[in-house]
Amino acid sequence: MFDLVFNTLFFASYSNAYGLANVALGPYDILLDYIVTIIVSIVVALILRIPLLPSKPYRYSFDVSAIYPTPIIAIGIFSIFLVLNYTFMYNGLILAVIIGVLSALFVKYLFDFVFPKPLNGDEREDI
């Protein structure tokens, strides 16, 4: 896994796909952007009153929370933008904030429509 993280940081910071070397990011810039994305997504999720932790028992809970899946979705979407070499401005910080806010909004309002909860053993699916 650490090799994958290193390769992602290395290739994203090496150069832009279009040869614009002056737009390239360093590994510390990318790491800072990931941290900003995680923090913004958690803070906005808490502002939207998403619970910090899912309901108990944690292991079998399919409830959304501010810890999971909000920052995971934010990291994934931000990684797609980094792979596409689109960082917008300020070395990707503005993009990290935008993606953090949008991922929290997605988890609050659209997550249950895109990823419905599985049925319990007592429930049957309506046909």
pLDDT in tens, 15-66: 554 444 445 677 888 899 999 999 999 999 999 999 998 887 777 778 889 9
Instruction: Give me the mean pLDDT over the 82-108 stretch.
Output: 90
What is the pTM for the complete model shown?
0.76
Q: Which residue has the higher pLDDT, 93 or 88?
A: 93
Q: Which amino acid is at 75?
A: I
Q: Which amino acid is at 18?
A: Y
Please state the three-class secondary structure of the chain as a single string.
CHHHHHHHHHHHHHCCCCCCHHHCCCHHHHHHHHHHHHHHHHHHHHHCCCCCCCCCCHHHCCCCECCCEHHHHHHHHHHHHHHCCCCCCHHHHHHHHHHHHHHHHHHHHCHHHHCCCCCCCCCCCCC
Mean pLDDT of the chain: 81
**Cis peptide, bond prior to residue 118, ω within 30 of zero:** no
Report how far residue 25's alpha carbon sits from residue 28's, in angstroms, rounded to the nearest whole number: 8
Q: Is the pLDDT of residue 71 over 60?
A: yes
Q: Which amino acid is at 13?
A: S
At 9 the pLDDT is: 59
